[in-house]
Amino acid sequence: MLNYIIRRLVMLIPVLIGVSIIAFSLMHLIPGDPARSMLGEKATEDQLELLREELGLNDPLAVQYGRYVGKVIKGDLGESVKSGVPIAEELASRLPATFELSIFAMGVAIVIGVLAGVIAAVKQYSWFDNISMTGALFGVSMPIFWLGLMLIWVFAVILGWLPPSGRLSLDVELETITNMYLLDSLLTGNWEAFADAFKHLLMPGLALGTIPMAIIARMTRSSMLEVMRQDYIRTAKAKGLAKFLVIFQHALKNAFLPVLTVIGLQFGYLLGGAVLTETIFSWPGVGRYVYLSILGRDYPVVQSTILVVATIFVIVNLITDILYKYIDPRISYD
């Protein structure tokens, strides 16, 4: 197992090099001038040229890329062109918000998706099966931005039950430790902040978790149907084991490997694909940070953020592969 982990970590190097090249190339193909974005439309050509020279934008692309990679190797992600603040500091303040949103969304998706898939498989062709799978089809097909706007319109504008944006109300105080507000409120015993943070998290979490929830439900149902046709399930039933034990201890455990694969992939996608959700709900995470940086032509921020998200994505997939071994001891990586 240790050799496998080392091999996967070594393979991370060429993957990240490829990601950095693609991100660097795409950002410089986008029309727009960072100097113009920083100085405004009234800036003179001399001022623009001076700033371009100062930022190194006049250097050949190969030189700019080499300079960027050299900093990354040293652990320096560079500085934001717009704010001048080190990108590592800005990411450190925003990553916990994205982690909190993604973990909540994936938690909801796993609980509802797995339960819906198991029940749909056990009660195949029933009304629940038809409704849940139709709902899963709508969930996969539904655009996040439309769902987010509809949630805001219904629950914030019409009913007034939930706040439309942000992470915490202005009149609620919270001592931050991890910058994950739900966790911090639990650690400090601040139940008012916990309730308020949960209300702010509910709509963006549901919007972000809809697609993985639908995918997990369909995959769980398909995998469960295949496993429940196996001989050892018939044997377990013939022995008189309780239906609950047959389903959750025997069938679900063996059907969970493909579901775990989907969960790992979807969690990585959530971390990198929360741009629309965070933008719609004004959630101060990495996705909204990237969106604003693209608008401002802040190349270093976008490049570094893509690199960090790609690293997290690969690590999540590595953890998923390691979990295979503990779910199914027959799997060997030697």
Q: State the amino acid at position 13 in one-letter form.
A: I
pLDDT in tens, 78-93: 777 777 788 888 888 8
Structure tokens at 277: 């959700």
Mean pLDDT confidence for 319-325: 77
User: What is the pLDDT at residue 199?
Assistant: 92
pLDDT above 70 covers a percentage of the chain that reads 92
Q: How confident is the model over 201-222, as pLDDT tens digits?
A: 999 999 888 888 999 999 899 8
**pTM exceeds 0.85:** no
* Nearest of 215, 222, 224 to residue 136 by alpha carbon: 215
Q: How many residues comprise the chain? A: 334
* Tokens encoding 81: 């062109």
* Cα gap 234→180, rounded to integer Å: 46
Tell me, what's the pLDDT at 123? Answer: 87
Predicted local confidence at residue 203, as pLDDT: 92
Share of the chain above pLDDT 90, in %: 12
| Least confident piece of the model among 61-65, 94-98, 271-275, 323-327 | 271-275
pLDDT digits (tens, 9 = 90+) for 140-186: 888 888 888 899 999 999 998 999 888 888 888 888 888 888 989 99
User: Is the pLDDT assigned to residue 198 strictly greater than 90?
Assistant: yes
* pLDDT tier for residue 31 given thresholds of 50, 70 and 90: low
Contact (CB, 8 A) for 194 and 186: yes
Provide the H-helix boundaries in 173-298: 181-188, 191-227, 231-238, 243-245, 252-272, 275-280, 286-295
Q: Are 283 and 295 within 8 A, CB to CB?
A: no
Q: Which domains does the chain have, with CATH numbers?
A: 2-73 (no CATH), 96-284 (1.10.3720.10)
